[in-house]
């Protein structure tokens, strides 16, 4: 399946990526299956090393069971590396089944090289920007990107509030991608809920990452609320 296959949420081609950071790790596969059955299209895997961000999460070995589930459901594995020197691990995550590998601009000294290393491994290449990192840092690689991820919280923990300035940043990011004639998808991650989802997609977001807002409580009802947020009122 192409990364650029859009599943229509009624009349809006927004992709919902279920971040397993919000799932119950003791029931990870069952929880993720429930989210995919309810309509999430991507599995967003947050990898943290305790150095780039002040938390430690999971690594490539955990992706084995999820890869089988993703293949069964036709979902994409969207891997977000919040780690120092990510080049060391690109091959591991590609082998573990990543369809998309996103690295942080702030963690890559030679970002152009890293982007092309990801592509050479047969994965789509994404770059993430922390809240303090300007969109303008992407000018010289925008045309090479498959995905641009704008962080709407300071990464490290699920359940944080969406930083309001992100909406304007998404608009600038979309403009930059268009100016570069880039086909990259624009993704937003952090504090995204069904209440602010429409604001983010109106600003240009193509992919919404949600953790707590999907996995806390009734997963199917939560995803339906995201769907409703995208319906156009005629």
Tell me, what CATH number does 216's domain have?
3.20.20.70
Q: pTM for this structure?
A: 0.94
Check if the beta carbon of residue 187 is closer than 8 Å to that of residue 17.
yes
Q: Report if residue 186 sits inside a domain.
A: yes
Q: Report if residue 7 sits inside a domain.
A: no
Q: In the chain, how many domains are there?
A: 1
> Tell me: the pLDDT tens digits for 188-206?
999 999 999 999 999 999 9
Give the dihedral sign, CA 209/210/215/218.
negative
Q: Report if residue 9 sits inside a domain.
A: no
> Tell me: the pLDDT tens digits for 143-202?
999 999 999 999 888 889 999 999 999 999 999 999 999 999 999 999 999 999 999 999
Q: Report if residue 5 sits inside a domain.
A: no
Active centre residues (catalytic): 46, 189
Taking alpha carbons only, the member of 35, 8, 10 closest to residue 228 is 10
3-state secondary structure of 121: coil
Q: How big is the CA angle at 119 (ends 113 and 125), to the nearest 5 degrees?
A: 85
Query: What is the spatial distance between Cα 171 and Cα 108, in angstroms, rounded to a whole number?
Result: 24
Query: What is the spatial distance between Cα 31 and Cα 100, in angstroms, rounded to a whole number?
Result: 21
Q: Report if residue 1 sits inside a domain.
A: no
3-state secondary structure of 167: helix
Q: Which domain holds residue 118?
A: 15-229
């Amino acid at each position: 399946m192409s990364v650029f296959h859009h599943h229509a949420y009624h009349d809006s081609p927004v992709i919902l990526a279920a971040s397993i950071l919000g799932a119950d790790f003791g029931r990870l596969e069952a929880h993720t299956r429930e989210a995919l059955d309810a309509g999430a299209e991507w599995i967003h895997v947050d990898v943290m090393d305790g150095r780039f961000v002040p938390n430690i999460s999971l690594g490539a070995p955990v992706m084995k069971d999820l890869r089988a589930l993703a293949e069964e459901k036709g979902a994409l594995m969207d891997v977000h590396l919040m780690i120092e020197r990510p080049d060391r691990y690109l091959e591991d995550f590609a082998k573990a089944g990543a369809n998309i590998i996103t690295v942080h601009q702030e963690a890559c000294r030679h970002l152009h090289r890293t982007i092309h290393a990801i592509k050479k491994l047969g994965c789509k290449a994404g770059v993430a920007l922390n809240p303090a990192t300007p969109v303008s840092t992407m000018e010289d690689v925008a045309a090479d990107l498959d995905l641009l991820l704008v962080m709407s919280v300071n990464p490290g923990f699920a359940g944080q509030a969406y930083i309001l300035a992100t909406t304007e940043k998404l608009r600038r990011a979309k403009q930059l991608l268009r100016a570069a004639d880039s086909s990259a998808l624009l993704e937003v991650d952090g504090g995204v809920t069904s209440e602010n989802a429409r604001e983010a997609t109106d600003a240009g977001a193509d992919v919404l990452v949600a953790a707590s807002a999907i996995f806390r409580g009734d997963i199917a009802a939560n995803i339906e609320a995201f769907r409703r947020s995208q319906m156009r009122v005629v």
